[in-house]
């Protein structure tokens, strides 16, 4: 007798968010990336649909990184300090399907670049590559409120993904995204109640939920990934059972969290027993990413090209229907 798969019946779906405007939509991207749309938990092909593969965005900084270890700097050594060239290298050499421009250089302690300089970097990256773009501020609210509207305007009509909006600082960025037709990242501090609240606030401010991506905060492997995992999983279960306010797809800061761990960044001299850093670091980043894929992540921001390649392979294999 054939044994039937035990299938759950889900009543709703993850929202579908499209990033990147092609010429047909008045933008200059060669293609869009589509996030979300799942009608089941990750990779359960027998139960429902996952119409869009998880997307990896490669992280590019607008200044030389302060705390990246040697193993992570090496693949980018000829382009560091030039975000346009860095982005182009990610696309041409490492096959990036999306770029995340991190405006680290606008941080008051890390260069304090002006909104104008940031907007120029955005324009330069948009010219250098034709993949969809994500623009992430420096996470200092006051500075982001000046910088991000300028960047939003510089990228108007390109349907970028801008972040981040928080519970007590969402109005400025939401207004900018509405005006310049971008999508928005809604951030919450590893707290599912606040995650839902931020989504409600930005949607009440007029931004439709198909232009929102949730960033519930990411914990690195070995450093709190369990919390991130269980929050993402609970949010996804709510989305699939009809909680519209939890329906936006989820983005994870994989590179940032993974490379914070000493297991990823320790040098060969510091930890000879752990193996060569140029393999160990990317492995740590890839492991972090694959765990988060299982929690339902739709968009991963990553750093090392080898880790990106591994994760893409894993995602492809898991996405292939049995």
Query: What's the closest the beta carbon of residue 216 comes to another protein, in angstroms?
Result: 12
Q: Which residue has the tokens 């979300």?
A: 36
CA distance 62 to 60: 7
Instruction: Tell me, by CB under 8 A, how many residues bind another protein.
Output: 18
Helices (H), 129-185: 141-154, 171-180
Q: Tell me whether residue 203 or residue 288 sits nearer to another protein (CB atom).
A: 203
CA 35 centroid distance within chain: 11
Q: Tell me whether residue 175 or residue 200 sits nearer to another protein (CB atom).
A: 200
Which residues are registered as beta bridge partners of 215? 187
The window from 43-51, 157-165, 189-197, 289-297 that contacts another protein (CB under 8 A) reads: 189-197
Query: What's the closest the beta carbon of residue 106 comes to another protein, in angstroms?
Result: 30
Q: Tell me whether residue 6 or residue 67 sits nearer to another protein (CB atom).
A: 6
Query: What's the closest the beta carbon of residue 237 comes to another protein, in angstroms?
Result: 10
Residues 225-284 that bind another protein (CB under 8 A): 234-235, 238, 242-246
Q: Tell me whether residue 123 or residue 234 sits nearer to another protein (CB atom).
A: 234
Q: Which tokens hold the place of 142?
A: 């006051």
Query: What's the closest the beta carbon of residue 270 comes to another protein, in angstroms?
Result: 43
Q: Write the binding mask 81 to 120 for another protein: x where contact by CB under 8 A, - elsewhere.
A: ----------------------------------------
Q: Tell me whether residue 18 or residue 244 sits nearer to another protein (CB atom).
A: 244
CA distance 84 to 94: 15
Backbone phi, psi, residue 272, to 5°: -60, -30
CA distance 254 to 67: 15
Dihedral sign (CA 54, 124, 218, 283):
positive
Query: What's the closest the beta carbon of residue 6 comes to another protein, in angstroms?
Result: 11
Q: Which residue has the tokens 């941080």?
A: 107
Asked if 204 interacts with another protein (CB under 8 A), we say yes
CA atoms within 13 Å, Cβ hemisphere of 228: 27
Q: Tell me whether residue 123 or residue 244 sits nearer to another protein (CB atom).
A: 244
Q: Measure Cα distances from 195 to 185, 190, 199, 238, 255 in Å.
A: 11, 8, 6, 12, 22
Query: What's the closest the beta carbon of residue 199 comes to another protein, in angstroms?
Result: 8
Query: What's the closest the beta carbon of residue 139 comes to another protein, in angstroms?
Result: 23
CB atoms within 10 A of CB 260: 13
CB atoms within 10 A of CB 167: 18
Interface residues with another protein (CB under 8 A) are 9, 192-194, 196-197, 200-201, 203-204, 234-235, 238, 242-246
């Amino acid at each position: 007798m054939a044994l039937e798969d035990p299938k759950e019946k889900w009543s709703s779906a993850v929202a579908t968010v499209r990033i990147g405007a092609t010429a047909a939509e008045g933008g200059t991207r060669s293609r869009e990336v589509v996030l979300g749309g799942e009608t089941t938990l990750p990779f359960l092909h027998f139960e429902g649909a996952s119409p869009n593969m998880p997307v990896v965005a490669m992280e590019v900084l607008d200044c030389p990184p302060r705390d990246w270890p040697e193993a992570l700097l090496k693949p980018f050594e000829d382009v560091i300090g030039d975000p346009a060239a860095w982005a182009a290298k990610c696309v041409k050499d490492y096959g990036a399907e999306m770029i995340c421009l991190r405006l680290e250089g606008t941080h008051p302690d890390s260069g304090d670049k002006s909104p104008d300089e940031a907007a120029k970097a955005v324009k330069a990256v948009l010219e250098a590559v034709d993949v969809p773009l994500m623009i992430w501020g420096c996470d200092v609210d006051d500075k982001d409120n000046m910088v991000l509207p300028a960047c939003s305007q510089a990228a108007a009509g390109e349907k970028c993904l801008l972040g981040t909006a928080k519970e007590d600082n969402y109005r400025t960025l939401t207004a900018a995204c509405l005006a310049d037709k971008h999508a928005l990242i809604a951030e919450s501090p590893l707290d599912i109640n606040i995650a839902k609240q931020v989504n409600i606030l930005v949607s009440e401010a007029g931004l439709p939920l198909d232009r929102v991506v949730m960033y519930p905060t990411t914990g690195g492997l070995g450093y709190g990934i369990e919390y991130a995992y269980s929050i993402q999983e609970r949010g996804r279960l709510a989305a699939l059972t009809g909680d519209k306010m939890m329906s936006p797809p989820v983005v994870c800061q994989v590179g940032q969290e993974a490379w914070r761990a000493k297991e990823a960044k320790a040098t060969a001299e510091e930890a000879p027993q752990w193996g060569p850093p140029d393999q160990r670091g990317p492995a740590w980043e890839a492991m972090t990413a694959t765990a988060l894929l299982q929690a339902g992540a739709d968009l991963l921001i990553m750093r090392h090209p080898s880790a990106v390649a591994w994760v893409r392979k894993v995602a492809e294999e898991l996405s292939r229907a049995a």
